[in-house]
Structure 1
Amino acid sequence: MKKIFTMIMVAFLSLSALSSVSAHPHDHDKGHHKYSIEKQLAISKKAVKKYRNIEVALDEGFVGLVPGACVPNMGIHLVKPSRMDDDKLRIKKPEILVYEPLKNGHYKLVAAEWYVPAELTDKTPVLFDQKFQGPMDNHDGSAGQHYDLHVWLFKTNLDGIFKPENTRVSCKYAE
């Protein structure tokens, strides 16, 4: 019985530690690399799937749902401002959620995106063993640059899960 309890505690502590893993771009070789990419993606998908209901995302502080904000081959990006101003990368807490507008007026969660302001790092960030894209100018027109990584967790991207654009995502029903 004691052996089973110990094994359960080790498993629980391992999962608890993973929930707070942060991968600073300066320190990206620690923490999350002890898990396979497939395991990391599964953990991310499980943590993010609650946002399939866009109301949950909005209630938790994601913002940016505005008419005309649909990016072709990407979708509508909702950002969580409280996660945008640091270089910490948490596989369970993306800075951005990406939705596809549907014919019935609803939104389908299709991807998560991780974001790092360029001025906070001297290296290209890495997560899921993938280098981020960038640095690039901020898309909202604000000063500065950033790095980002799209991960198509909820809609297959025929070009690859980490490619920034997904030709299967449409803005046809965006308001």
Structure 2
Amino acid sequence: MLRRRTIQRVAMAAAVALTTGGPVALASAAAHDGTAHAATSSAQTTLSAQAATHYTSHRDRPGSLTAAQRQVIRDATARYRNVDNAVEAGYLPTDVCVADPTLGGMGYHYVNPDLATNPNLDPTRPEVLVYARDHHSRLHLVAIEYFKADADQNLGTDDDRPTLFGEPFDGPMLGHEPGQPIHYDLHAWVWRPNPAGELAQFNPTVRCTS
């Protein structure tokens, strides 16, 4: 069963890599299950270190959702407060807890490859779920993230910037996970209050601990 799950996860990560131009996603999935070679692990570590320098490319967004918009998202994602339900629905965990030393944290991103490679945005089907750990290392759903890969993978152009809820996405930006492509994203902190703003990228109450 473990072997089957490993194969399924690697296959799904490969689909993301092929679609978005991020071949390291395959290596990342394999490494999570302990099946990657030493060279792959080294490459993943290097990319993680490089990605850490790109978090501050996000623009702060102090805006907020309407009560109706917020309720739509909460109704659609309430079942994912149990992380097992998220995994069962196809959201794959990543190993990196994203944080910025001055802005706060994002947390752990659980990515649904099928949704992440679908160009259509649906408010009720976020591409990414964001979790944070409590003092007992338990995962809690804190935010959702809408994601769209940049069409030309060029940081200098933004003619394909998407919008949702009347809000333009942040980006284009470099990936903040190994294998993640240049992309646009929009965070919505519907499960944890965010002093920086409901649609800000980082939340000062989220901390990543070793």
Structure 2 length normalisation: TM-score? 0.60
* Percent of aligned pairs with the same amino acid: 32
Q: What letter corresponds to residue 164 of structure 2 in structure 1?
A: L
Higher Cα radius of gyration = 1
Correspondence for 1:52: 81
Is 1:71 paired with 2:108? no
Correspondence for 1:93: 125
Could you tell me whether the CA contact under 8 Å between 1:41 and 1:128 is conserved in 2?
Answer: no
Q: Secondary structure at the match of 2:151?
A: helix
Could you tell me whether the CA contact under 8 Å between 1:37 and 1:129 is conserved in 2?
Answer: no
Correspondence for 1:61: 90
Is 1:123 paired with 2:155? no
**Please, which runs of 5 or more residues in structure 2 have no aligned partner?**
1-64, 100-104, 153-157
Correspondence for 1:152: 189
Is the helix fraction higher in 1 or 2? 2
Distance 2:177 2:108 in 1: 13
Correspondence for 1:83: 115
**Per-residue CA distance 1:68-127 (angstroms, 9 max, x = gap):** x11121110100011111221111110000000122231010000000111088431111
**Greater than 6 Å deviation, 4+ residue runs:** none
Correspondence for 2:53: none
What is the Cα-based RMSD across aligned positions, in Å?
A: 1.9
Distance 1:103 1:54 in 2: 17
Q: Secondary structure at the match of 1:156?
A: coil
How far is 1:64 from its partner? 2.0
Distance 1:144 1:163 in 2: 20
Distance 2:124 2:199 in 1: 16
Q: Which one is further off, 139-148 or 78-87?
A: 139-148
Distance 2:142 2:92 in 1: 16
How far is 1:139 from its partner? 2.4
- Quick one: structure 1 residues 71 and 55, their matched pair in 2 at CA, closer, same or farther if it must change by over 3 Å? same
Q: Secondary structure at the match of 1:119?
A: coil
Counting matched residue pairs gives: 136
- Quick one: structure 1 residues 70 and 122, their matched pair in 2 at CA, closer, same or farther if it must change by over 3 Å? same
- Quick one: structure 1 residues 143 and 90, their matched pair in 2 at CA, closer, same or farther if it must change by over 3 Å? closer
Distance 1:110 1:92 in 2: 16
Correspondence for 1:37: 66
